[in-house]
């Protein structure tokens, strides 16, 4: 897609376009990445799910932390996009430009993924020593802040201790990052539980606007969070999940070496993955995804 705006950045999922001096157009594509590689097969409507769900969550979190959203009516705000309306509507948001903090802010309430790997190696996750005997999928005694570096595309984030975050951004901002991240997680966990979903962990993107922290990018989506059906939660092994689970399982079975380029995905895996993203949207919001597409 080539819009009549300056392209600032093209990430794993989103393309960012400059709008004047202080705004950006975020366009969520249907691209899917695994093991830090963008796969050649898109997941239909994935970008619309991420956009619609983030907009819904920004409203649920409005009293916790403000968001960068200006408007989701991007064609009305930017009439020059009318010829591209079909490509940008429901998957694009006009946002305020933020000074993004150089830290991946992650909250974990359950032990899995990279946190589990670190725990099994040392009993420590991001400098926090956890109780012995925890297994994959176990609920932690209390949610923890487990920040990491922000690595360039294709590279892996590296876990950081809170002291390292303080060294990088200063004690005051570090404390604010931890506080906001944990409050976003707490609200997200509560709301998700009401929908029968466990929010196991989440990554929160934060930036500064006039000296205040603001939520950016996406929030509490299947791309930025681990979301598990509560009725199938069973610690001791990997959990069913509203995300790329089918893709990861197929890739593992395929023998792919996790290097670029990734293999094309079978139609069945694409369909199952799309269904999980849509199901997450509908269970969390209580609304039909089709109605969002038609709105």
pLDDT of residue 136: 98
Average of pLDDT values for 224-228? 96
pLDDT of residue 279: 97
Among residues 129, 99, 88, the alpha carbon closest in space to that of 5 is found at 88
Can you say whether residue 203 is alpha, beta or left, with left for phi > 0 and alpha for psi between -120 and 50 degrees? beta
Residue 291's contacts (CB-CB under 8 Å, 6 or more residues apart) are none
Would you say how long the chain is, in residues? Answer: 295
Helix then strand then coil, in percent of the chain rounded to 5, is 35, 25, 40
Please write the tens of the pLDDT for every residue from 59-113.
999 999 999 999 999 999 999 999 999 999 999 999 999 999 999 999 999 999 9
Higher-scoring residue by pLDDT: 5, 150:
5
Q: Which residues of 36-52 are buried (b: 16+ CB within 10 A; e: fewer)?
A: bbbbebbbebbbbbbbb
Superfamily, domain 100-232: ATP-grasp fold, B domain (3.30.470.20)
Name the pLDDT band for 150 (thresholds 50, 70, 90).
Answer: confident
Specify the range with the lowest mean pLDDT, choosing from 147-156, 166-175, 239-248, 278-287. Answer: 147-156
Its pTM stands at 0.94
pLDDT of residue 246: 84
pLDDT value at 156 more than 80: no
Name the pLDDT band for 196 (thresholds 50, 70, 90).
Answer: very high
The CA distances from residue 199 to 15, 110, 161, 233, in Å, are: 27, 8, 22, 11
Distance CA 61, CA 127 (A): 28
- DSSP per residue, 239-286: PP-SSSHHHHHHHHHHT--S-SSPPPPPHHHHHHHHHHHHHHHHHHHS
Please write the tens of the pLDDT for every residue from 11-29.
889 999 999 999 999 999 9
* N- to C-terminal Cα separation, the chain: 23
Which residue has tokens 């892996």? 156
pLDDT value at 154 more than 80: no
Distance CA 146, CA 162 (A): 8
Name the pLDDT band for 157 (thresholds 50, 70, 90).
Answer: confident
Domain ranges for the chain, please list them.
100-232
Continuous segment of H or E residues that includes residue 96:
strand 92-96
Q: Where are the extended beta strands (E) located within 160-204?
A: 197-204
């Amino acid at each position: 897609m080539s819009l009549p705006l300056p392209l600032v950045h093209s990430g794993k999922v989103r393309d960012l376009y400059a709008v004047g001096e202080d705004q950006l157009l975020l366009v969520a594509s249907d691209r899917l990445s695994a093991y830090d590689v963008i796969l050649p097969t898109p997941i239909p409507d994935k970008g619309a799910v991420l956009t619609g769900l983030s907009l819904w969550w920004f409203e649920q979190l409005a009293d916790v932390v403000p968001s960068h959203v200006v408007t989701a009516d991007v064609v009305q705000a930017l009439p020059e996009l009318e010829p591209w309306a079909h490509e940008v509507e429901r998957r694009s948001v006009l946002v305020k430009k933020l000074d993004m903090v150089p830290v991946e802010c992650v909250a974990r309430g359950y032990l899995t993924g990279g946190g589990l790997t670190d725990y099994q190696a040392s009993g420590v996750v991001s400098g926090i020593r956890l109780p012995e005997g925890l297994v994959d999928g176990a609920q932690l005694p209390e949610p923890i802040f487990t920040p990491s570096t922000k690595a360039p595309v294709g590279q892996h984030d590296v876990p950081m201790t809170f002291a390292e975050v303080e060294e990088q951004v200063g004690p005051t901002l570090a404390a604010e990052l931890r506080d906001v991240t944990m409050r976003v997680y707490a609200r997200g966990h509560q709301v998700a539980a009401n929908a029968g979903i466990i929010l196991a962990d989440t990554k929160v993107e934060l930036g500064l606007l006039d000296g205040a922290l603001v939520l950016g990018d996406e929030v509490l989506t299947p791309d930025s969070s681990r979301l598990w059906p509560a009725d199938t939660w069973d610690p001791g092994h990997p959990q069913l999940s509203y995300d790329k689970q089918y893709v990861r399982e197929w890739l593992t079975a395929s023998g792919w070496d996790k290097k670029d380029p990734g293999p094309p995905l079978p139609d069945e895996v694409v369909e199952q993955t799309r269904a999980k993203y849509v199901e997450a949207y509908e269970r969390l919001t209580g609304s039909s995804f089709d109605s969002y597409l038609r709105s």
